[in-house]
Amino acid sequence: MIDALAGEIALQKDFFGEGQTTALKSVYLGGGTPSLLEAPQIDRLLGAVRDHFSCDADCEITLEANPDDVTVTRIRQWREAGINRLSLGVQSFFDEDLRWMHRAHDAADALRSLEMIRDSDLEDFSADLIFGVPTLSDAHWEENIRRMIALQVPHLSCYGLTVEPRTPLESFIRSGKYAPLDEAQSARQFERLMDRLQQAGYTQYEISNFAMPGHRARHNSSYWKGEPYLGIGPSAHSFRGDRRQWNVSSNAAYLRAIAQGKIPCEAETLSAAMSLNEYVMTSLRTIEGCALSHIALRWGLQESGRIRRQAELWIGRGQMVCEADTLHLTRRGKLFADGIAAALFA
């Protein structure tokens, strides 16, 4: 698989245009458990990136890690390989929550790994938390937030538990083994999260992402700004302007194709309406908001005017404001972001 990933990197060298005039500003090793890789394997992958793409001198290079994979030695090896940012899947500091989520690590692993990262020379790191978990009381949620603040974690990604179709969780709820998720609990915990992190000096620069000054994730921000990105590996998605492509999900099919010098992907060209809807969905999630002037320039005054008129409903409900010709969700509106965006779609 490592050979195939390096092979696809070579095959995709002209993805951003022949000769690639713009240097990469972020590289992200994720989409699974890359912290299981040995240091030489990470070296191989990052070496392939540098061989075929130019990178900014201060390129953000992130590795997703599970708490039980983190050791002082591994942190040092990751740093030597060029990793300058870690994203740690903590989820909770309470064992009952981690057991319910079938996580491999326990609360002690989560705390120990964060302390090791904080005490290393790695200045940029992030941790994930999940709220709305049935086993997670409001008191324990408060404690999760308090610990992250006390540990001086510079970036937090916090997500509400969702039920995806055709997953074990969806099956358990449908069969009655698990109770349906409590939306009131999820909303209450999300509002408390926003309050506590704002008080602690974090900026909610995207609905699910909070950063101390100077610690916003460049990689994540690229998605919300609609910048091109290249995904490598099985199931990886890529985006370039009005074109989106995705690799096959089968490991075996992926390996066969790369061995034959082929990129095993499907692609679609986004229509004007699809591109507009994507901009509305992503921009409303950010602190910068949805710029009506940008919509007018790219999709026309008619669409800009339509969205401004339709936004009046949400402005009237106190869930949105329009400032300097830009739509922003209010604190309350962030609870309904997906629904509001969908209502504004072309």
- Domain-located, residue 71: yes
The pLDDT-based confidence of 337 (bands split at 50, 70, 90) is very high
- Domain-located, residue 262: no
- CB within 8 Å of 124: residues ≥ 6 apart: 60, 84, 85, 86, 154, 155, 215
At 86 the pLDDT is 97
- Reported as type and span, the H/E element at residue 290 is strand 290-291
Give the relative orientation of helices 251-259 and 2-11 as an angle to the nearest 10 degrees.
60
Mean pLDDT of all residues in 315-337 = 97
- Domain-located, residue 272: no
Mark whether 206 and 337 lie in a shared domain: no
Where among 182, 207, 223 does a domain terminate?
223
> Domain count of the chain?
2
- Mean pLDDT is lowest, of 82-96, 161-175, 250-264, for 161-175
Mark whether 199 and 326 lie in a shared domain: no
The C-alpha R_g of the chain, in whole angstroms, comes to 21
Mark whether 316 and 201 lie in a shared domain: no
pLDDT at 20 over 80: no
- Domain-located, residue 118: yes
Mark whether 60 and 131 lie in a shared domain: yes
- Domain-located, residue 291: yes
- CB within 8 Å of 316: residues ≥ 6 apart: none
Mark whether 199 and 80 lie in a shared domain: yes
Mark whether 108 and 215 lie in a shared domain: yes
Structure token digits, residue 175: 């069969």
Mark whether 296 and 179 lie in a shared domain: no
pLDDT at 176 over 90: no
To the question of pTM greater than 0.85 for the whole model, the response is: yes
Q: What is the DSSP letter of 178?
A: S
Predicted confidence (pLDDT) per residue in 279-310, tens digit:
999 999 999 999 999 999 999 999 999 999 99
- Rounded Cα distance between 129 and 152, Å, is 15
Mean pLDDT of all residues in 235-247 = 94
Mark whether 166 and 23 lie in a shared domain: yes
User: What CATH number is associated with residue 160?
Assistant: 3.30.750.200
- Domain-located, residue 312: yes
Where among 177, 196, 223 does a domain terminate?
223
- Reported as type and span, the H/E element at residue 206 is strand 203-206
8 Å CB contact between 151 and 124 = no
List the domain range (segments joined by +) for residue 87: 17-223
Residue 178 CA, distance from chain mean position: 27
Predicted confidence (pLDDT) per residue in 103-129, tens digit:
999 999 999 999 999 999 999 999 999
Q: How far is CA 279 from CA 180, 269, 331, in A?
A: 32, 15, 20
Where among 175, 202, 223 does a domain terminate?
223
Name beta bridge partners: 65: 88
- Domain-located, residue 141: yes
- Reported as type and span, the H/E element at residue 160 is strand 155-160
Mark whether 73 and 175 lie in a shared domain: yes
Closest to 148 (Cα-Cα) out of 126, 131, 169, 165: 126
Closest to 208 (Cα-Cα) out of 329, 117, 35, 314: 329
Q: What are phi and psi of 335, to 5 degrees?
A: -70, -20
- Domain-located, residue 91: yes
Mark whether 158 and 68 lie in a shared domain: yes
Closest to 303 (Cα-Cα) out of 277, 324, 284: 277
